[in-house]
Each structure stands twice: as structure tokens, then as C-alpha cells.
Amino acid sequence: MKKNTLLASCLIGALLVIQPVVTWAESAPKPPASLAASFGLPDFVTLVEENHPVVVNISTTKEVSSKHQRHPQFKGLPDEMLRYFFGIPPSQLDDFKGRRGDSLPERQPKKQPHSLGSGFIIAADGYILTNHHVIEGADEIIVTMHDRKELTAEVIGSDKRTDVALLKVNASGLPVAKIGSRKNLKVGQWVLAIGEPFGLDYTVTHGIISALGRALPNDTYVPFIQTDVAINPGNSGGPLFNLAGEVVGINSQIYSNSGGAMGLSFSIPIDIAMNVVEQLKANGEVARGYLGVLVQEVTSDLSKSFGLDSPTGALVGQTYPDTPAEKAGLQAGDIILEFDGKTIHKSTDLPPIVGITPLDRSVTLKVLRQGKEMLFDVTLAALDSDKKGVATTPQQKQSGNQRLGAEVQELEEAVLHNLKIPFGVGIVHVFADPAESAGLRKGDVLVTIDFKPVKNRKTLNKLLKTLPKNRSLPVRVIRDGRSLFLPLILKD
């Protein structure tokens, strides 16, 4: 009885202690509807709710022939093993091959899943944007809407260079993505991606813009938006949103050692994609401008060689024959500062601007040539194929040059003809400065120093004695068939 009384007293005491806490909790102020808003953070919830219906899943199938398939029991067994284990004489081996499945009659092609990606709706009547690599080689494309309705899509057009594809489904009254622009984007700005990574429906990831105008190898016509948004296989073709709910990019590539997200994601600017869309709708293909130059970055050392206060522009290493650049009068060693009124800050700025420039009008280039600014008018041609230089191996007749820090050799006329240059000497071995510091390599063909021709070894020796010392001089070489400028500093 005493134990029960003691227990009851403890319970009553506990309730007396808890009651004020409960009463305080009930009377405490309610938290705001959005905790993010109270801390000044983006309201991703509303952003996703309003925009996820425009995102679609894209799956493709490809026909795979199933003829000549072996029976699983014998698949992969060589003839020698069949004879040894099953005692089949050579005379009956061909007949058995047919029964085991080596020569089965041709069956109907079988459709198999080929790829999985994302896309988004850009028109209420069924136009959808995605990546070229998502639908490349597909025999059938299935688009799954946000309500899980499946529709078959046709390809209106696809552009491999920008990795953009335009699809069309037979529908109307679809939700449409708001199209933004890259013009107002800034590094550090919040962005959000919605897509289908690994086939997981409507997955949302967010991050910030890490860099703008990023050039990637073999993608010179796309100034990518780099973000740290988690992008994985299956996100390809999906939209990248800003906080206003506008699509500012198409998620296209990732850099990864593991195949998963590493915080290095790349999106195609929506302005580039919509330019492609307009051309695909009108012509089914993209006409891209071609200037006909090989350009390189203007480094800090090279900028001093060319008399610039700071590195800027695109340095022309080579002009290809019978191209708009050659016809306009551009030369190797010119630095393109402006193209059609647009400033060229670095060499990677030039190809995207050239690519989207109309082909039917003349544009003006501002060029720095040996310290003087000049203007050139050029009408672009259509890009049909990549131009490549001609690599060659220098011939013999060599000697060392201590002042240059390299062994050089005379070149035969046939070699110069293949390189499409009138003169030059070959670098056989680099053993000291200034050649070593300049970055000269074995196999380079030295063409000019400070825009003065190097016709042979004798000319080179004279130049090295008369050229100014202790300042950076532009040196033009042919490397692997391509023209390249390097900074050379001759010492006393």
C-alpha cells in the first residue's frame, strides 16, 4: 500500500513539472510557413511545385538483331570442346551447330532499352528540348509526362556540335517552361535542376553557378555554364532553373572519376539552345558560321611580346586557304580584339560568337597587327567540316645554336610545301634557354621571330644577333601541322 502511495505521489509530481512545459509549448509562437524564408534562403519548394510539370522523362529503344544466337547451354563453346566432351565427329559438327543455335534462322529484331534521360517542354503543342546524346541512334523515343502519361516522340532535328535535340509529341495544352537568358547570370547565383538521374522520377538538386563561358575540349561552340549542382546519368537534357523559375541552361555533361556527381557539372546556355531550336524548326539542321582561323590564348608572356598591357583577344596562329579569313586579309600573328562589335576577352570567346553569326551579312573585325589596330570586313562561310594541318617530319642537315639553346636543321622544299609555308627551320633538340623557357620542342618548325622570317640557319644566326634583348618576342612555330606563337626572351 505504501509503495502504491509513493508511486502515485511521484506521478503527480512529475505531471506538475511537465505541465508548465506543455503549456509553454502550446502558447509559443508558430514557426513561419517557410523556414528558408525566415533565414533569407531561396524558397525551393514553391519553385519546384510550379515548374516540375514541364520536366519529362525520355527513354529510347534500339532494335537489336537476335539472329545466330546460341542456345545458352552451348554458348561460347569452341568446336574443339564440342568434339571432346560430346564425342561429335567433324562430319556431323556443322549439323550440330545448327541444333545448338549457331545457325538459327534469323529472328525478328528485338527492341531493347538504349538510353534514359530528361527533357522539358518549350511549347504547349508538344515541342520538347533535350540533349543530342540522349536520343542519338534511337529507333523509338518515349516521353513520359509528369502525370505518367507516355507519348511517342519524333525528332524534328538534332545538332551534335551543341548537343541539342528538338522533339515533338502529338499533344496540346501542355505546361510550358519559362525561357530565361544567360545574359544576367552571375557566378555564385543559386540554380536548381530537375531531372531523372538513374531513372528516379523528378529528382531535384540545387547549387550555385561556379563559372561562366567555360570551354571544354571538342566543344568550342558552347560557352558552358559550370555549376556544383549534383548532376548524374539520366539528368542529361533536363532544365537548369534560376530562382525566378526560368530555364537558363540544359544539363549536358559532368566531370567525374567515378561516374557520379563531383560538383563539376556543365550546362548549355539556353540562348545557344534556342538559337539551335529556331534553325531546326526552320530547316531541320543548323547552319554555323566558319571564319577559317586557328586561334590560341594570349598568355601574359605573349601579351608583352605583342605590346599589350594585359592578356586579351584571340591570337591567330594560322589562316586556312580559301576561307573567309584569308580572303579578308587576316594573317598569322593578328590578335582579334572585337568581332561584330563584341569584345573578345579570350580565345574561347570567338568560336561561339562566330558560330551564331548569320552567314548572309558582312561583319567587322577589330584586329591588332604588330601594335596597330586595324579593321577588316568579312562574310562568313558555312561550316561543313573541320580543317586540319599537315604534320611532317623535318629532314636532316642540322647544327647547334648556342644563342637559341636548340639544334636546328634546314628543311627541304617538299617539307615546306606540305606545311604550306615558304620557309622555316626545324628544331631537332632543345638543350638550354631561351628556347627551353619559351616552350620550343623537338619537331617544331621555326618560321618567324618578332615577325621577321627565319628562312634558313644563316638568317636565324643574323636575327639572333640583331634582335632586342631582355624583352619578350613573339616566335611563330608550326607544331603538329598547326601554327603556334610562343614568347622568346633573348639574353645578353
User: What are the catalytic residues?
Assistant: 133, 163, 236
- At 357, which amino acid appears? T
3-class DSSP assignment, residue 466: helix
Strands (E), 283-361: 289-290, 293-297, 314-319, 335-339, 342-343
Provide the residue count of the chain: 492
Are the C-beta atoms of residues 384 and 287 closer than 8 Å to each other? no
Are the C-beta atoms of residues 471 and 455 closer than 8 Å to each other? no
**76-104: buried (b, 16+ CB within 10 Å) or exposed (e) per residue?**
eeeeeebeeeeebeeeeeeebbeebebeb
Write the CB contacts of 441 (distance below 8 Å, at least 6 apart in sequence): 427, 430, 479
How far is 347 from 454, CA to CA, in rounded Å?
27
**211-237: buried (b, 16+ CB within 10 Å) or exposed (e) per residue?**
eebbbeeebbbbbbbbbbbbbbbbbbb
Q: What is the DSSP letter of 269?
A: E
- CA 151 to chain CA centroid, Å, is 30
Cα–Cα–Cα angle for 313, 162, 58, rounded to 5 degrees? 150
3-class DSSP assignment, residue 278: helix
